[in-house]
């Protein structure tokens, strides 16, 4: 039973480029959460999605960031025109349902903006 | 502001000793969870304790919760080198009927052989 999968594991982008981060939830899970971890800090919630719906994006920066979870395929976190401050580890988690269900985390994508 | 705050920020002990980490939070919760993160890796769920529970055990882990003080502690007994990692507490926050996790800054635990 494969866990949450994220790719790429490491991503290097120059300032101004776009970054696309992918997350495939655990089998049977249709709820996806994205978190960002800055160096030496804890994780901060960004967005929660169900299939084809954004449910809670209260943690997403207002500009340049977007997320989707299409009917088919992985969830995508997209960062346009990246800046150095976007350098961080981005983690995806999935759960079986909304509510008090355990969230299972992927290994993360480490984005470095040069 | 950040919900959970861990204390200490860093802890270094000898193998075999017990390690205690504390977490304080600010608002009411339904549950509190502890996670471990090895360097450069993802998070591993350790234990969930609900607001109506006071103590929970899992192997060498013991978690306590004091809702009156808005605090929790994680005790690792008989520590091993493999326990070296960062430990985070996470409290639940609700929006649109869904739970999101609010993490503290973490405690970096080092077990010296």
C-alpha to C-alpha distance for A100 and A13, rounded to whole angstroms = 36
pLDDT tens-digit map of B6-32: 889 999 999 999 999 999 998 888 889
Calculate the alpha carbon distances from A75 to A61, A107, B64 in Å. Answer: 18, 15, 36
pLDDT tens-digit map of A16-73: 999 999 999 999 898 999 999 988 788 999 999 998 899 999 999 999 999 999 999 9
CB-CB neighbors (< 8 A) of A58 in chain B? 95
CB-CB neighbors (< 8 A) of B93 in chain A? 45
| Preceding amide of A8 cis, omega within 30 | yes
**Option in B44, B90, B97 nearest A99 (CB):** B97
């Amino acid at each position: 039973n494969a866990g949450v999968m994220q790719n790429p594991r490491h991503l290097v982008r120059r300032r101004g480029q776009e970054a696309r981060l992918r997350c495939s939830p655990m089998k049977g899970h249709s709820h996806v959460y994205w978190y960002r971890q800055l160096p030496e800090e804890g994780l901060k919630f960004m967005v929660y999605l169900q299939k084809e719906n954004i449910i809670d994006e209260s943690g997403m920066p207002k500009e340049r960031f977007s997320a989707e979870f299409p009917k088919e395929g992985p969830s995508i976190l997209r960062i346009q025109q990246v800046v150095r401050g976007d350098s961080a580890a981005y983690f995806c988690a999935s759960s079986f349902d909304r509510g008090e269900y355990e969230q299972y985390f992927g290994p993360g994508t480490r984005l470095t903006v040069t | 502001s950040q919900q959970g705050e861990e204390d200490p920020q860093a802890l270094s002990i000898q193998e075999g000793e017990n390690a205690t980490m504390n977490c304080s939070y600010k608002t009411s919760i339904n549950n509190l969870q502890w996670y471990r993160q090895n360097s450069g890796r993802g998070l591993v769920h350790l234990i969930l304790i609900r607001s109506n529970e006071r103590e929970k055990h899992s192997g060498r882990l013991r978690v306590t919760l004091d809702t009156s003080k808005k605090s929790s502690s994680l005790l690792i007994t008989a520590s091993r080198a493999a326990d070296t990692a960062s430990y985070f507490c996470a409290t639940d926050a609700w929006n649109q009927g869904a739970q999101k996790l609010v993490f503290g800054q973490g405690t970096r635990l080092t077990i010296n052989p």
